[in-house]
Amino acid sequence: MKLANRVDQVKPSVTLAISAKAKAMKAEGIDVCSFSAGEPDFDTPAHIKAAAQKALDEGKTKYGPAAGEPKLREVIAHKLKRDLNLDYKSENVIVTNGGKHSLFNLMMALIEPGDEVIIPAPYWVSYPEMVTIAGGTPVIVTTDASTGYKITAEQLRQSITPKTKLFVLNSPSNPTGMVYSPGEIEALAKVIVEADILVVSDEIYEKLLYDGAKHISIGSLGTEIFSRTIISNGFAKGYSMTGWRLGYLAGPVDLIKATSNIQSHSTSNVCTFAQYGAIAALEGSQDCVEEMRQAFAKRREVMFARINSIPGLSCEKPDGAFYLFPSISETGLKSLEFCSKLLEEYQVASIPGTAFGADNNIRFSYATDMTTIEKGMDRLEKFVRLAVSS
Ligand SMILES: *Cc1c(COP(=O)(O)O)cnc(C)c1O
């Protein structure tokens, strides 16, 4: 069969082989410690599930408006004002099938052949692929531990060409967990305004912050940057709702209308009764978010201390999300080899940094219980000690 050319341009996920292997080992009854999860390990809070159940019982089971239930769009606009001081109305918001779908819709509405999109590495796996599917050119800017894996304003400035359309900002970051400081965000905003490009701010981890770190939304820094900002967010990470498939995009009305048009011909509206769960998530008590955050905070301390005590690994202390991203360069192994051996010989699953454009690092998720963390870190330590000494 002759498939469309665009299929050849999308890379198969390098993480797939590892996760398939880990699953197969588990199925065989092998005791695998898994740190590969990209999702919270908690159940969705009860009041959110109850709201969706109620909507289901009330017959909210039909097609709805493609851009989302009017009430949910309104509640999201209100949240963006309340939490982040962003002036949006319902018409500036589209409800999507997850944060991933928000970004995909955005690329389809905005990017065309010839357009360049600046993506700092380490990056979330899907950003470059989405740009490619839309026919654009991802421009990868490599960052390292010296800047906390964050792109500097100067690096951004130097990467901009007349073809640059969009810059992708992700803070807190997946895979590094790093959070941009207010000063760093301000410096990036200045470059964006001066060059008159757009920025999409992926804020899916905005609620998962530690050690007093604050989340600043780049669009809140003034009218000039606000008009060039698009916000992408979702319910998956903060409310432990990954399987619900609920996200949103906020931005200028013409863009939101365009994404809504695209959505109306692809997925139509997000599952109607699920949207009532999202309303409850935003309108209800935020204590559930804080409880999960505190559990993550404890695990982060334990895992960070353990990883950094292992000779051969070095790790920055990230202030957000639920990942640690240690460097493995002293082990002499590349990330895929490191992860494969760690899984095969020590039954520990992690994600090779090469998936995120960083071959000298490994991503460990601490969205798992403390017992697994202790056991998995013991095994990791044995593995690295042997790898370094041999
Ligand atoms: C998880 C994640 C998303 C979106 O997840 P959805 O499940 O589609 O809402 C977006 N960006 C980053 C960086 C993520 O880690």
pLDDT in tens, 143-199: 999 999 999 999 999 999 999 999 999 999 999 999 999 999 999 999 999 999 999
- Per the structure block, which two tokens stand in for 214? 């604050």
CA of 382 to the centre of ligand 1 (A): 33
Give the C-alpha separation, 303 to 308, whole Å. Answer: 8
pTM, to two decimals = 0.97
Specify the pLDDT at position 16. Answer: 73
pLDDT confidence bin for 279, thresholds 50/70/90: very high
Percent of the chain residues past pLDDT 70, beyond the cut:
99
In a domain, 56, yes or no: no
- Per the structure block, which two tokens stand in for 124? 């979330």
CA of 245 to the centre of ligand 1 (A): 10
Last residue of a domain, one of 234, 254, 283: 283
In a domain, 54, yes or no: no
CA of 58 to the centre of ligand 1 (A): 30
Let me know whether 139 and 215 are in one domain. yes
CA of 98 to the centre of ligand 1 (A): 7
If you take atom 15 of ligand 1, which residue's CA is the nearest one? 174
If you take atom 4 of ligand 1, which residue's CA is the nearest one? 99
Ligand 1 pocket: which of 171, 204, 275 to mutate (most atoms within 8 A of CB): 204
- Region 66-75: mean pLDDT is 98
Specify the pLDDT at position 388. Answer: 81
In a domain, 78, yes or no: yes
In a domain, 151, yes or no: yes
Look at residue 93 and give its three-state secondary structure. strand
pLDDT confidence bin for 37, thresholds 50/70/90: confident
Residue 239 has pLDDT above 80, yes or no: yes
Residue 141 has pLDDT above 80, yes or no: yes
Residue 36 belongs to a domain with what CATH number?
Answer: 3.90.1150.10
Residue 304 has pLDDT above 80, yes or no: yes
Let me know whether 234 and 379 are in one domain. no
Crossing angle (nearest 10°) for helices 99-110 and 126-133 = 30
Last residue of a domain, one of 251, 283, 315: 283
* Domain that residue 69 falls in: 61-283
Residue environment code for 50-71, b if the CB has 16+ CB neighbours within 10 A, otherwise e: ebbeebeeeebeeebebbbbee
CA of 55 to the centre of ligand 1 (A): 25
Specify the pLDDT at position 23. Answer: 87
Domains in the chain: how many in total? 2
Cα angle, residue 280 at apex, residues 234 and 104 outer, rounded to 5°:
20
CA of 100 to the centre of ligand 1 (A): 5
- Per the structure block, which two tokens stand in for 232? 């992408």
Let me know whether 256 and 220 are in one domain. yes
Specify the pLDDT at position 12. Answer: 76
Average pLDDT, the chain: 96
Residue 161 belongs to a domain with what CATH number?
Answer: 3.40.640.10
Last residue of a domain, one of 283, 309, 338: 283
**Ligand 1: lining residues by beta carbon, under 6 Å:** 38, 98-100, 124, 170, 174, 202, 204, 234, 236-237, 242, 247
- Region 230-254: mean pLDDT is 97
Let me know whether 222 and 89 are in one domain. yes
User: Is 112 or 16 the better-scoring residue by pLDDT?
Assistant: 112
Let me know whether 81 and 192 are in one domain. yes
Let me know whether 212 and 358 are in one domain. no
Let me know whether 278 and 296 are in one domain. no
pLDDT confidence bin for 8, thresholds 50/70/90: confident
Q: What is the DSSP letter of 327?
A: B
Ligand 1 pocket: which of 94, 237, 322 to mutate (most atoms within 8 A of CB): 237
In a domain, 81, yes or no: yes
In a domain, 55, yes or no: no
Q: How many CA atoms lie within 13 A of 350 on its CB side?
A: 31
Let me know whether 150 and 9 are in one domain. no
Residue 213 has pLDDT above 90, yes or no: yes
pLDDT confidence bin for 370, thresholds 50/70/90: very high
What is the rounded end-to-end Cα distance, in angstroms, of the chain? 48
Q: What is the DSSP letter of 41?
A: S
- Region 336-358: mean pLDDT is 96
Q: Which residue has the tokens 């997925």?
A: 267
In a domain, 229, yes or no: yes
In a domain, 140, yes or no: yes
Let me know whether 303 and 352 are in one domain. yes
Let me know whether 274 and 291 are in one domain. no
Give the C-alpha separation, 265 to 171, whole Å. Answer: 31
- Region 328-337: mean pLDDT is 94
Give the C-alpha separation, 4 to 27, whole Å. Answer: 36
Let me know whether 147 and 250 are in one domain. yes
- Region 289-317: mean pLDDT is 96
Let me know whether 116 and 231 are in one domain. yes
